[in-house]
Structure 1
Amino acid sequence: MVLSFVLIQNRQYVTTSHPPHSPHPNTRHPHRGKTRLAKWYSPYNDESKQKLKGEIHRLVAPRDQKHQSNFVEFRGSSKIVYRRYAGLFFCACVDANDNELAYLEAIHFFVEVLDQFFGNVCELDLVFNFYKVYAILDEVFLAGEIQETSKQVVLTRLEHLDKLE
């Protein structure tokens, strides 16, 4: 069970204006989400990373959360496992043969740790404390594999890291 990458992207929209007499004066179109965190466990060049970010967002953003699963086939040999929390998509690219439910649970665990660490985490916490978010991610996943599943162990380690600052 190995991750290729983890992305956290927001759900960004672009509003376009039409003439005032148009039936839809302002229309919102989904646009590529802004990536708030990207962790790569497989080697990709910068151009590939940018393409992947856009491709992943276009794949998960329009999906119906009530009627479609949180797993999407991706490039034949992989799957995207994702979960939406408020306006953020937490996405992980895993091997097609891996247990997607384990990764879905790991994403939820990661969000629970974020929530407890920051006290009701929001997108601004991810932006302004990105280095702490990466530290939390590194406590949960090591070299692309699920490393720790105890919330208390992770939070205790993070407490120790905070004391070092």
Structure 2
Amino acid sequence: MKSFLKISILILISLLSFQASAQTNKYKCMLQMSNYMGEGAYVVVSLIDPKGAYEKTLYVMGDDKKWYNTLKEWHKYQSKKKENISAKTGASVTGGDRSMTTIEIEEAKINKGYKLRFETAVEDNKYYVSDVEIPLTTEGLAAKTEGKGYIRYVRFNKL
């Protein structure tokens, strides 16, 4: 009886793990920077809830934590939430460069009023809280979205 219970629990855990992983999809994110002068840009990709609040950090371009405070709004959220972002970081991106990353997005968040926000900062230059905001919709993920600051455009492809 004990072994039956153990096996049942293991099967349940396996099914729940499979279900949790089945609820997210991977997207290739291509980010093209504009031709600006200056240091590499720090870029944070965040999931923004329907009320406009930060819900989750999806990716950080720039791995030197001492510059995270230049991403002012995200840094306020990160200081309170204390997310472990070490697995979601990569190099900063300089003017004219292109970055390709893979981002996981929960399927349940699509077409529910969420947004993806690309926040950018460059040392001794202007800060953009919403360099790019993409509605987290089927159409939004399929479109090429123009940036307002250091980012020229962002495009997603489902993997």
Alignment TM class, shorter chain as reference = under 0.3
Greater length-normalized contact order (CA 8 Å, ≥ 6 residues apart): 2
Give the number of the structure whose residues are more often helix, by fraction.
1
Q: Under a length normalisation based on structure 1, what TM-score does the superposition of the two structures give?
A: 0.27
Give the number of the structure whose residues are more often strand, by fraction.
2
Q: Under a length normalisation based on structure 2, what TM-score does the superposition of the two structures give?
A: 0.28
